[in-house]
Amino acid sequence: MSVTSSGSTLCRRLWIKRICHGIVFPQHSRSVSLATKQTHRMSSQINYQPPPPAPLSPPTSPPSFLTPTHTSNSVTKNSNKVANLARKSMEKALVDKAKNSDVDSVHRLLADIYRLGHTPTITTYNHIIKALAKQFNHEKRQLEAHALLDDMTRRGILPNSQTYIQLLLGYAIHTSSSSLSANTTPPNDTLQEMQLLFTKFFQCEQERHFKRTNRKVKKLVEVMAGVGQGTILPMMMMACVKANLQLDVTTWNTALAGCAKGGYMDAAERLLEMMRLSSQQQEMDPGLSVVAIPDVTSYHTVISGYLGRGGGFVDIRDMNIDRAVELFQIMMDDGLVADYRIYQDFLYAYTSPTLLKNSNQGTSTKQQGVPLDTLQRLWQAMMTTMTDGQKLDDGVLTTLLDCYLRTQGYSAVEQVYWDLRQRGYTFSRSTAICFYKAITGFARKQHLISGIAMFYDLLAYGHGANHSATSSLLRACMLRGQLDIAQQIVDVIEETLRKPVSGDHYAFMVRAYVQQGQLELAANMFDKVQQLYESSNNNNNNRQRYLESLSTSYQAMIQGYFKLDQLDMAETLFERYINIRQQQQKSYKIDSQLVDVMVEGYGLIGEMKKLDDFLGRNDVDIITNIGTRAILIQSRLQHGNVADAERDLKEGLRYDDIKYLQSSVQAVLSSMALDGNVVACEYWVDLLSSNHLMTEKCYAALLICYGQAGEMIKLKQTYDDLNKQGVTLEDGIQDKVKSLWLENKCI
């Protein structure tokens, strides 16, 4: 008997195990063609129509000792229990897939549950709706979600508020990213669908007596505001008002921000007006419950939207400063005091380059020609209302500084600098660049006190020595003859940064000292340039940059020694420089700037033989530079070598047009006129005349040439022709010509 009982128990367990396996994995119980599976899956994804319920009872078999001849109550209970466990297991697997947004797997599992004749719980359905809503950017998922809603209702499962929340969030997020812009609205069918969903959500909440509805509405508002979904927000807030649902001012301000972000400024103003109206009603009846009293943030949100600072889709070209000013006045009339954020947004709007460009084309009289003092008053108002813990928008600051710089308002930039420094404000790189530009502007106007004070302060706070600003300050010091201040700037940079200044700045100081004849101080700077160059052996980029500074410094020092008539020192430095360059490049040709210096130097001290020897060097190219040619000709003329000067001039005309050498031609003509060289003078005059380059000085030189040569007939004829042509000569020339005629009795 015991054996029979054990066998029967074992049989029942095996039978139950087979039932569970058939429930969880029914697709393996029979073979189905691939086409049939695909057709069934596609139809179930949208309509969720279950197949005919499969029989739950196991197949009958001939009775034996392993199977009972009748079904007992314990077997039925166990079967139901196992079926429930299987359903819960499948729903848990479905929820896991839904959380991972694996919609295709969700479809398959849901179809399996339907095939077994089960209906999921509302919680499971909501997970499916949420997974579909996350993919509402695909229209197919929207259709599937609505088909699932219909299927739920047919199966007796009514959607709850969470169902509608998920659908609303899906539409809000994906319709805003795909079809919203500053000037468009969502498609009408989508908007109507969202309004209908919110109405159903509100009905569900009403049935629950609006229990914790505030939190749910706040969540909806936050999400919709975050994507600029401003078309439905007013309808939602109005529904809350009608239902006497109290929402805090933060939620209302979030809704305002959502409208402003999406560019729906009319909707934002409607919400603000609702808040203002409710506030006024409470003043008349203190016992009346209010929507939410608008605060400064409420007004700031709408004003910033009109000023293009809503953080969303508002095009800066669509800014409405006039309306923003009107709202600012309304806020003041309501007894609210503006904070720094509002002044900051007005500063941004008034200094916007795009707005200024459009205003020049004529948009609004209030947007045209913003005076500098208006910006300064806005700045001071912002500083007054700003506390130490509040952070200034760096973009607004940079835009304001750029506006000041465009109008050369360097003093205004200086005021901003010291206001911020007083508050311990840390400058960004872009802001520091603006201040360095102001320093450069001060230097150009030679306002050294303001420029140097800002420069030293920026340097002390770790912003480095801006190259352009440093160069401008050094140049301004040189122009004012205050090289001691320039030297101080160099010394302060070296001490603060604990490294040498730029080679360009050392080279500039060399040139400045040479121009003032202070060769000893120039030599000190020259030594630093050489040290920089020698320390750059392992860095080709730095070496090339320092080589340019070295070349400039050598030229300045050589020029200085020439001016002091120290030929030996000049030639020594010249040879040293040539050796340096030839070590780098054996076929080095002397650059034109150094050729200018040597030609001018030899000409200055009258070493014409050395000048010719220099020009005959193999590393000196034929002079093709017009400036160098002019210096050479002038040097020869200064030492009375007119013939060589004329030769150099004719050689220059082989490479350049006469109009580029006009001043040299006039100089040679004037020198030849004093010698009375009629043939040469007439040659150059004809050349100038044929190129329409004759001037009063050229005519005067020709008259003097005739006078010096005793050609009185030509002198008188030329003089008469000039009078007929209306050419006016200088009084000195007139007197000299007349005196020559009188002496020779030609009048």
- The 3-state secondary structure of 425-485 reads CCCCHHHHHHHHHHHHHHHHCCCHHHHHHHHHHHHHCCCCCCHHHHHHHHHHHHHCCCHHH
Residue 414 scores a pLDDT above 50: yes
Q: Please give the DSSP secondary-structure letter assigned to residue 184.
A: B
Name residue, tokens 């040539």.
578
Q: Which two tokens stand for residue 548?
A: 């340019």
The amino acid sitting at 358 is N
User: What per-residue confidence (pLDDT) applies to 627?
Assistant: 83
C-beta separation of 665 from 695 below 8 A: no
CA distance 266 to 620: 78
Side chain identity at residue 112, one-letter code: D
Report yes or no on 92 lying in a domain: yes
pLDDT for 365: 37
**pLDDT tens string 429-481:** 999 999 999 999 999 999 999 999 999 999 999 999 999 999 999 999 999 99
Mean pLDDT taken over the chain: 82
Q: CA dist 238 to 194, 232, 271, 439, Å? A: 15, 10, 9, 56
Can you give the pLDDT at residue 356?
54
pLDDT at 355: 59
The token pair that represents 350 in the structure block: 């008034």
Q: Which token pair is 273?
A: 């007006």
| Mean pLDDT to the nearest integer, 328-347 | 92
Picking from 405, 395, 400, the residue whose alpha carbon sits closest to that of residue 374 is 400
- 134 has pLDDT over 70: yes
So what's the pLDDT on residue 715?
86
> What's the pLDDT score for residue 475?
96
Closest of 27, 24, 155 to residue 90, by C-alpha: 24
Distance separating alpha carbons of residues 108 and 100, to the nearest angstrom: 15
SS3 67: strand
Give the list of residues 6+ apart from residue 315 with CB closer than 8 angstroms, or none.
182, 308
Q: What type of residue is 144?
A: E
Residue 245 and residue 206: Cα distance in Å, rounded?
A: 11
Find, among 614, 589, 592, the residue nearest to 603 by Cα: 614
Q: Residue type for 267, please? A: A
pLDDT digits (tens, 9 = 90+) for 300-322: 999 999 998 766 544 555 688 99
pLDDT given for residue 101 in this prediction: 87
CA 440, 442, 448, 450 dihedral sign is: negative
Distance, CA of 458 to CA of 472 (rounded, Å): 16
Among the listed ranges 83-97, 161-175, 264-278, 625-639, which one has the minimum average pLDDT value?
83-97
Domain stops at, among 90, 123, 156: 123
Backbone φ/ψ region at 573: left (φ over 0), alpha (ψ -120 to 50), beta: alpha
Q: Rounded to an integer, what distance in angstroms lies between the CA atom of residue 330 and that of residue 343? A: 15
The enclosing H or E element of 721 equals helix 712-725
* Listed residues 64, 89, 123: the one ending a domain: 123
- Print burial letters for 553-585: b (CB count within 10 Å at least 16), e (below 16): bbbbbbbbbbbeebeebbbebbeebbebbeeee
Q: Is the separation of the CB atoms in 23 and 86 below 8 Å?
A: yes
Residue 173 near residue 136, CB atoms below 8 Å: yes
Instruction: Give domain status of residue 666, yes or no.
Output: yes
pLDDT of residue 32: 39
Report yes or no on 370 lying in a domain: no
Q: Give the CB-side neighbour count of residue 467, counting CA atoms within 13 A.
A: 5
Contact assessment for residue 507 and residue 530, using Cβ atoms and an 8 Å cutoff: no
pLDDT higher for 653 or 739? Answer: 653
pLDDT tens readout for residues 559-601: 999 999 999 999 999 999 999 888 888 788 888 889 989 998 9
φ/ψ of 204, rounded to 5, equals -60, -40
Phi-psi map region of 245: left, alpha, beta (phi>0 left; psi -120 to 50 alpha): beta
Please give the Cα distance from 309 to 260 (Å, whole number). Answer: 9
The answer to whether residue 105 sits within a structural domain is yes
pLDDT, residue 441, reads 97
SS3 657: coil
Distance, in Å, from the CA atom of 382 to the CA atom of 350, rounded to the nearest integer, reads 14
> What's the sign of the alpha-carbon dihedral 180, 181, 184, 185?
positive
pLDDT in tens, 724-737: 888 887 777 777 77
Closest of 701, 696, 661, 664 to residue 681, by C-alpha: 701
CA dihedral over 83, 84, 90, 93, signed as positive or negative = negative
Cβ atoms of 628 and 596 within 8 Å: the answer is: yes
359: pLDDT strictly greater than 70: no
Percentage of residues of the chain with pLDDT beyond 90: 43
Residues 6+ apart with CB under 8 A from 160: 122, 126, 204
Cα 450 to Cα 179: distance, rounded to the nearest angstrom: 53
Residue 268 lies in a domain: no
Lowest mean pLDDT among 290-294, 296-300, 400-404, 566-570: 290-294
> Looking at this protein, which amino acid is placed at residue 421?
R
Q: How far is Cα 490 from Cα 519, in angstroms, rounded to an integer?
A: 18
Residue 351 has pLDDT above 80, yes or no: yes
SS3 223: helix
Which of 123, 148, 167 is a domain's end point?
Answer: 123
Please, which residues have CB within 8 angstroms of residue 201's CB and are 6 or more apart in sequence? 161, 164, 165, 168, 216
**Strand ranges for 223-368 from DSSP E:** none
Q: Indicate whether 86 belongs to any domain.
A: yes
Domain holding 95, by residue range, is: 2-123
Alpha-carbon distance 671 to 569, whole Å?
33
State pLDDT tens for residues 656-709.
889 989 999 999 999 999 889 999 999 999 999 999 999 888 988 988 898 888
Distance CA 4, CA 10 (A): 10
More confident residue, 32 or 743: 743
> How many domains, the chain?
2
CB 290: neighbour CB atoms within 10 A? 17
The predicted structure's pLDDT at residue 391: 84
pLDDT in tens, 135-168: 988 889 999 999 999 999 999 999 999 999 999 9
Please report whether residue 188 resides in a domain.
no
Backbone angles phi, psi at 101, to 5 degrees: 60, 30
Residue 284 domain flag: no
Output the pTM of the full model.
Answer: 0.69
